[in-house]
Amino acid sequence: MMLLAEQLLNGLQYGMMLFLMAAGLTLVFGVMGLINLAHGALYMVGAFACAAVAAATGSFWAGLAASLGAAAAAGALVEVLVIRRLYARDHLDQVLATFALILVFSEGTRWLFGSFPLYLSLPPLLSGAVSLPGGLVYPAFRLAIIVIGAAVAIGLFWLIGRTRLGLRIRAGEADREMIAALGVDIGRLYTLVFALGAGLAGLAGALVGAVQSVQVGMGEPVLILAFVTIVIGGIGSIKGALVGALLVGMTDTLGKALLPGLFARFMEASAAGSVGGALASVLIYLLMALVLIWRPQGLYGGAS
């Protein structure tokens, strides 16, 4: 029972982390119609910025702020220099150009920081485990990720639904020529949205870097999951990204936790581990296929 509760929390935490990645990706895809493979590279930039600043200043919080800033700045720079030229091109050109960006970022980071993983230590406030009501012991930092994810979700809903900027983002999604004709500087709006998405990816990278490891190429596995998430949730929808991320996080974690045990009831442990593990890792793709059969536009995608 305790085990199941802990696994549910793990799924929730994983989902929140995916949401931070997917939110930026879905905004960029929805508003600008751009497939951005370099989103994982921005995640890596955030992690490295956090590790470097935390090592220099000794403060994890300064590192966290730096991760947001550095990734947003890198995002804005990339948008102005490269991405801007891609909006009118087809998706294949976008994929090629942003894939090139992955290589540039990876090699650039390797050149700056080397191939060995960096160390990112946690602030004392968040290290160790806390006891939750009911006697469940859970790592404090993973709880913090859940809280930060939830706060970002609320902030984004407010931003998109209740502010003038959000109004423009929604309008840009619906009809970009019309809002340009109404006098909105669409170029600046795009740069802003891209930087916002990049900043969130950087934040996710820093948070994950603190529990995993900060190394070159850390962004690509997460990127694939983030794409799965936004396809399930419906492209362009923040609500879809949140629901999709939680679905993917729960499915993946519970599948990994429960399936090998299920198979171990009738086969040898190593075979059960590999069969259960293999099935668990395709479970999210199965979920994606089912959702797409049921709703081809994703759970919250607009009909198009």
Partner 1 sequence: MTLKATLAGGLAALALMAGMAAAGPVKVGMITTLSGGGAGLGIDVRDGFALALKLAGEAGSAVTLIVEDDQQKPDIAVQIADKMIQSDQVDVLTGIIWSNLAMAVVPSAVAQGRFYLSPNAGPSALAGAGCDKNYFNVAWQNDNLHEAAGAYANSAGYKNSFMLAPNYPAGTDAIAGYKRFYEGAAAGEVYTQLGQTDYAAEIAQIRASGADSVFFFLPGGMGIAFMKQYAQSGVGIPLVGPAFSFDQNILQAVGDAALGVRNTSQWSKDLDNAANAAFVAAYQAEYGRLPSLYSSQGYDTANLLLSAMAKAEVSDQDGFRAALEAADFASVRGDFRFGPNHHPIQDIHVREVVKEGDIYTNKVIGIALEDHGDAYAAECRM
Residues engaged in binding partner 1 (CB under 8 A)? 2-3, 6-7, 10, 13-14, 106, 110, 115-119, 121-122, 127-129, 137, 139-142, 210-218, 221, 253, 256-257, 260, 269-270, 273-274, 277, 281
CB of 246 to partner 1, least distance (A): 15
CB of 208 to partner 1, least distance (A): 8
Q: Which is nearer to partner 1, 95 or 211 (CB)?
A: 211
Q: Which is nearer to partner 1, 95 or 122 (CB)?
A: 122
CB of 152 to partner 1, least distance (A): 19
Q: Which is nearer to partner 1, 31 or 118 (CB)?
A: 118
CB of 240 to partner 1, least distance (A): 23
**Three-class secondary structure of residue 58 per DSSP:** coil
CB of 282 to partner 1, least distance (A): 11
The DSSP string of 153-212 is HHHHHHHHHHSHHHHHHHHHHH-HHHHHHTT--HHHHHHHHHHHHHHHHHHHHHHHHHHS
Q: Which is nearer to partner 1, 32 or 245 (CB)?
A: 245
Tell me whether residue 303 is exposed, middle or buried, using C-beta atoms within 10 angstroms of its C-beta: 0 to 12, 13 to 18, 19 or more.
exposed
Q: Which of 273, 174, 144, 204 is nearest to 22 (CA)?
A: 204
The DSSP string of 85-107 is GGTTS-HHHHHHHHHHHHHHHHH
Q: Which is nearer to partner 1, 27 or 287 (CB)?
A: 287
Cα(235)–Cα(26) distance, rounded to whole angstroms? 6
